[in-house]
């Protein structure tokens, strides 16, 4: 007995006619522009088959280096499910009431067709008739598009989603302040940000009470042997995070053969804990006694790096901060290649709050 097909079937794809982009560039809060022939043309949605702006791939959300780790198979790019496919326009559609403006969907678009302007996310639908054409959604069409996008993906360019500011960050942090403790949103967000920054990342399954490790990550490129455990702590109990991470490192060391000295473990928090809370003192103690440098990253820092397609090296422990040096501002600016437009102590993004 054969199965029925869906009604809302894909009908078209967009491909380049004969000229491919030679370069891509983007300025903040604008869609990217493509250099086609000798002209800069505003980018538009290609109606990808399997759109990367919506779906992560199997190999991105799994870390084979941790074969025992039971991980969540949620493939959504958007942590709050604000992006959906519109079968009418055959492009993604963003519900701005739900969107928190994390930019994850935008930085995954190979042609930079998603952008944020005036606090709104938009997808460019108006495409250049001269350079692009709609073709039927068929096997050969899909292959053609895939081939073209592989070529486009070779162009080295950087997304410029939006320029950070205290105000933008406050908005995002505010939106996240309402999620409840059991929500998967923080973990999905952190996972997807790390994936955008060039790592594979797996998070523990929602509702899995046996796995104490929040997440694990590893380098995407085969030469990058970096790997580590991640504790995600969006609440206030950062001391618990330092204990948990020692637990994670030990469990992986003894049960999964991940040598503790290889484990570039890190804590991802919403805001840096302040000096008095004791967290950074303990991080320093851990380094003293165990020789382990646990990195601490904030959500804000991950966002800023992602919005700028920065390349980071967690294997170098460049985001290590402790009692003697309570900031990751320098490390973040180094990777951005410019100063950061976030005032000191703002939301505890780069250093503890004042």
Partner 1 sequence: MIRFRNPGTQYTTQIQVFKELYKEYSDCASFSLDDMAHTIARTRLMTAYGYAGGAALALSQTENDSLNSTKMNAKMYAEVFRLLGWVSSVGSGSYPLCFTYIGYHVANADDEEVRSLYEQCVIGINNPQEIMDVLYTEEVRFFKAALLTFQDMDGIMYKHELCYGPMSVDDLDAQQYKRMITRLKSIRGSYARYQKAYKELCDSLSVKPTLPDNSTRLPIAFMKSCGWVESERSNTLFPPKSLECLRLTQHGNEMAESIKMLKDLRLKEFRSYDGKVRQALIRLGIYSMLERAGYDTTPVQSIIWKDTATCEEILNSKKLLFSPYQTIRVDEVDAAMGIVRESTSSRSTNVSLAGIQRTDSLNKRIRLSAGNNLVHDSDEEVQSFTEKVKSLRAQNLRIVDIVQIIFDGMIAATQTRFYPFVAMLFRVLGFEVQVSRPGDNGARWDAIIIDEINSIPIEIKSPTEEQHISLKAIRQALENKVILLSRNTHPTTPETTSLAVGYYLPNDRAEVTNLILDFKKAYGFSIGVIDLSTLLKIAVSVIVDGSSFDRQALIRLEGFARVSLR
Q: Which residues bind partner 1 (CB under 8 A)?
A: 1-9, 55, 67-76, 84-85, 180, 205-208, 210-212, 242-244, 246-247, 249-251, 253-255, 260, 276, 278, 281-282, 284-286, 288-290
Least Cβ distance, residue 140 to partner 1 (angstroms) = 21
Which is nearest to 58 in space by CA: 71, 46, 48? 71
Q: Which helix (H) or strand (E) holds 240?
A: helix 238-255
Residues, the chain, total?
A: 354
139 binds, among ligand SF4, partner 1, none (CB under 5 to 8 A by kind): none
CB atoms within 10 A of CB 89: 12
Residue whose CB is less far from partner 1, 115 or 217 = 217
109 binds, among partner 1, ligand SF4, none (CB under 5 to 8 A by kind): ligand SF4
Least Cβ distance, residue 237 to partner 1 (angstroms) = 11
Least Cβ distance, residue 102 to ligand SF4 (angstroms) = 4
Residue whose CB is less far from partner 1, 45 or 169 = 45
Sequence-separated (6 or more) residues with CB below 8 Å from residue 47: 10, 12, 13, 14, 90, 91, 134
Least Cβ distance, residue 18 to ligand SF4 (angstroms) = 19
- Measured between alpha carbons, how far is 39 from 43 in angstroms, rounded to an integer? 12
Residue whose CB is less far from partner 1, 197 or 283 = 283
Interaction site with ligand SF4 (CB under 6 A):
45-48, 51-53, 77-78, 80, 82-83, 91-92, 94, 99-105, 109, 111, 113-114, 121, 123
Residue whose CB is less far from ligand SF4, 100 or 342 = 100
45 binds, among partner 1, ligand SF4, none (CB under 5 to 8 A by kind): ligand SF4
111 binds, among partner 1, ligand SF4, none (CB under 5 to 8 A by kind): ligand SF4
Residue whose CB is less far from ligand SF4, 84 or 236 = 84
Q: Is residue 36 a contact partner of residue 19, using CB atoms and an 8 Å limit?
A: yes
Which is nearest to 298 in space by CA: 214, 177, 185, 193? 193
- Measured between alpha carbons, how far is 218 from 220 in angstroms, rounded to an integer? 6
**CA max distance for the chain:** 69
Tokens of 85: 């496919």
Least Cβ distance, residue 113 to partner 1 (angstroms) = 20
290 binds, among partner 1, ligand SF4, none (CB under 5 to 8 A by kind): partner 1
Distances (CA, A) of 85 to 45, 54, 122, 136, 226: 12, 8, 13, 17, 35
- Measured between alpha carbons, how far is 226 from 313 in angstroms, rounded to an integer? 9
Distances (CA, A) of 204 to 210, 217, 235, 265: 10, 12, 18, 16
Q: Is residue 215 a contact partner of residue 228, using CB atoms and an 8 Å limit?
A: no
78 binds, among partner 1, ligand SF4, none (CB under 5 to 8 A by kind): ligand SF4
Least Cβ distance, residue 179 to partner 1 (angstroms) = 11
237 binds, among ligand SF4, partner 1, none (CB under 5 to 8 A by kind): none
């Amino acid at each position: 007995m054969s199965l029925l097909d869906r009604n809302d079937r894909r009908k078209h794809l967009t491909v380049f006619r004969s000229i491919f982009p030679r370069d891509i560039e983007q300025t903040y809060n604008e869609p990217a522009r493509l250099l086609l022939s000798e002209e800069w043309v505003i980018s538009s949605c290609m109606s990808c088959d399997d759109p990367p702006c919506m779906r992560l791939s199997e190999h991105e959300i799994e870390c084979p280096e941790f074969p025992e780790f039971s991980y969540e198979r949620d493939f959504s790019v958007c942590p709050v499910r604000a992006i959906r496919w519109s079968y009418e326009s055959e492009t993604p559609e963003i519900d701005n009431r739900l969107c928190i403006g994390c930019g994850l969907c935008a930085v995954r678009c190979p042609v930079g067709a998603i952008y944020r302007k005036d606090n709104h996310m938009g997808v460019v639908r108006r495409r250049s008739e001269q350079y692009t054409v709609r073709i039927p959604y068929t096997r050969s069409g899909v292959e053609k598009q895939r081939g073209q996008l592989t070529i486009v993906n070779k162009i080295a360019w950087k997304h410029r989603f939006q320029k950070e500011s205290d105000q933008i960050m406050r908005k995002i942090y505010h939106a996240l302040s309402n999620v409840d403790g059991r929500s998967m949103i923080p973990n999905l967000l952190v996972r997807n940000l790390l994936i955008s920054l060039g790592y594979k990342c797996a998070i523990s399954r929602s509702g899995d009470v046996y796995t104490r490790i929040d997440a694990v990550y590893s380098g995407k490129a085969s030469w990058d042997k970096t790997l580590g455990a991640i504790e995600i702590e969006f609440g206030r109990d950062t001391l618990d995070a330092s204990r948990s991470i020692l637990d994670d490192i030990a469990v992986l060391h003894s049960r999964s053969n991940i040598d503790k000295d290889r484990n570039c473990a890190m804590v991802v928090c919403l805001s840096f804990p302040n000096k008095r809370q004791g967290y950074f003192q303990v991080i320093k103690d851990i380094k003293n006694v165990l020789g382990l440098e646990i990195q601490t990253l904030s959500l804000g820092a991950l966002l800023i790096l992602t919005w700028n397609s920065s390349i980071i090296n967690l294997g170098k422990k460049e985001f290590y901060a402790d009692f003697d040096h309570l900031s990751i501002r320098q490390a973040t600016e180094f990777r951005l290649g410019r100063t950061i437009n976030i005032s000191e102590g703002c939301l505890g993004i780069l250093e503890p709050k004042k």
